[in-house]
Amino acid sequence: MPPTDAETAAAIAAHHTEMRAELNRRIANLVATVRDGAPHREAARGVLTYLEDDLLPHAMAEEATLYPAGSVGATALLVRAMSAEHEGLVARVAAFRAEQDPLGLAAGAVAIGALFESHLAKENDLLIPALVANPDVVLAELLAGMHELIG
Ligand SMILES: [Fe+2]
Ligand SMILES: [Fe+2]
């Protein structure tokens, strides 16, 4: 039996929780390294690798599936704002990639973590419930096999 929309919504939320934990772990590691004045390159690479290999592909997968589904009707403005947040994340990741200064890296990572956290809350608490409630959207079909979104 294919998953229900409620099951798909739960899988999305669980994947978000995992992502936030892993990103926060890597950010905390970078901040601690910089605070200690220890060599920070590896910790910075740990953050950047996660951003480039997981977070940005996740955002792109949403832009290809969830966001088009939510871009009409009651969720249209919300999706526009969330799309702009994705652009903000892309820009901050580019700035992080170019940053050399340890304090700049730590500050950049913390800012990305905070932006991601408030973005996730909109997805989990506003967009996904609205899509589940929308009879024109079948979440489970939309996201079938999308490992970037449902883990
Ligand atoms: Fe997103
Ligand atoms: Fe997301």
Q: Give the pLDDT confidence of 10-24 residue by residue, as tens digits.
A: 999 999 999 999 999
Q: Cα(76) to centroid of ligand 2, in Å?
A: 17
Q: Cα(29) to centroid of ligand 1, in Å?
A: 24
65, containing H or E segment:
none
Q: How many domains does the chain have?
A: 1
Q: Cα(122) to centroid of ligand 1, in Å?
A: 9
Give me the domain span that covers residue 136.
Answer: 5-142
pTM for this entry: 0.95
Q: Which ligand is nearest to the CA of 13?
A: 2
Q: Cα(98) to centroid of ligand 2, in Å?
A: 25
User: Is residue 65 included in any domain, yes or no?
Assistant: yes
133, containing H or E segment:
helix 128-133
User: Is residue 54 included in any domain, yes or no?
Assistant: yes
- Using DSSP, state whether 36 is helix, strand or coil: coil
pLDDT of residue 100: 95
User: Is residue 59 included in any domain, yes or no?
Assistant: yes
User: Is residue 148 included in any domain, yes or no?
Assistant: no
Look up residue 48 and give its amino acid.
Answer: L
User: Is residue 120 included in any domain, yes or no?
Assistant: yes
pLDDT of residue 128: 96
Q: Cα(56) to centroid of ligand 2, in Å?
A: 10
Q: Cα(83) to centroid of ligand 1, in Å?
A: 7
Q: Cα(85) to centroid of ligand 1, in Å?
A: 8
pLDDT bucket at 75, cuts 50 / 70 / 90:
very high
User: Is residue 22 included in any domain, yes or no?
Assistant: yes
User: Is residue 122 included in any domain, yes or no?
Assistant: yes
User: Is residue 46 included in any domain, yes or no?
Assistant: yes
User: What's the longest Cα–Cα distance across the chain?
Assistant: 54
